[in-house]
Copies of this chain bind each other. A is one copy, B any other.
Amino acid sequence: MKIHVLGPAGSYGHEAALQAIHTLSLNEPEIVFEPTNASVLPAAERNEAIGIVPVENSTFGDVVEVLGYLAKQSPSFLLRVIAQVELSVRHCLLVPHEITSVEQLAGLTSHPQAIGQCQDSIRRWGITHIEPATSTAAAAKHVTENPDKKFGALASQFAAKEYNLTVLAENVQSQSDNTTRFFVFSPMNLNAPTGNDKSVLTFRLQNEPAALIEAIIPFATRRINISAIHSVALGAWRYGFYVEIEGHAEDGPVAKALTLMRLCTEELVVLGSFPK
């Protein structure tokens, strides 16, 4: 079995994959690293494999390339969400082994989001030479491959192990409760209702006044909470919507609401229900 996830090795996506393998007791799957978040699900669908993608970060909001892709799918989309993985994002300052203090560093590299999240620490360290990288794992890889540059990387403890770097400082982001939610997509979904589930759906609407309200009012009248909603402009006055609700698609009130919703939306896809 294969699991597709954003690379390179040592990424937060890689870490989420290991967590999913453990939680779902998957048997020695092969992890395949993809170049972008947008390419993970198409690769998983092509290979009838598992794909793990981030959908929301508590600091930066939803992951548009993933939600936009999902909002465009038709009911023939092969994959279903079977689980959610929540990962604490705790950036560390990683350095080559010969560096023992921040003063020895010539500069710093990381993904611009991580640099933004660690502004306070960077200011305290007095580091002014900062080079952006395409991911935190790519930054760690760069530091390992260029030890003479005397650069540090902001990346995870997990990346430190992957690239054999020293952790000079832990938990250096300003916001302490930074988490990323990942969804585990699989060609099969056999999740039965547990009484404490969440469901994900996408649908399309013509751009007409009140069309959105008409579509979601079956949830309001049944006291079903909407925990996330995102519109995606699809051109030509059509809109895709990505919605998360509380409850399992087979729970009585949810099933009834979905039946009503199907009548006033196009291509409603219930992407999956899974325990919260």
Q: Which residues of A contact B (CB under 8 A)?
A: 35-36, 38-39, 56, 58-65, 67-68, 71, 112-113, 115-116, 130, 132-134, 138, 177, 207-210, 212-214, 216-217, 219-221, 223-233, 235, 239
Establish whether residues A60 and B56, one from each chain, have CB atoms under 8 Å apart when the complex forms. no
Chain B residues closer than 8 Å to A64, beta-carbon distance: 60-64
Query: Which residue of the partner chain B has the closest CB to A64?
Result: B61
**How far is A209 from B222 in the complex, measured between Cα atoms in Å?**
9
Contact residues of A: prevailing secondary structure: mixed
Report B-chain residues with C-beta under 8 Å of the C-beta of A38.
Answer: 60, 113, 116
Max chain B CB contacts within 10 Å: which of A65, A138, A239?
Answer: A65
Further 12 A-B residue pairs, CB within 8 A, beyond A36-B112, A56-B233, A213-B216: A38-B113, A58-B235, A60-B68, A61-B68, A61-B71, A132-B134, A209-B220, A210-B223, A212-B216, A212-B229, A213-B213, A227-B239
Please tell me if the beta carbons of A35 and B112 are within 8 angstroms of each other in the complex: yes
- Minimum CB–CB distance from A136 to chain B (whole Å) comes to 13
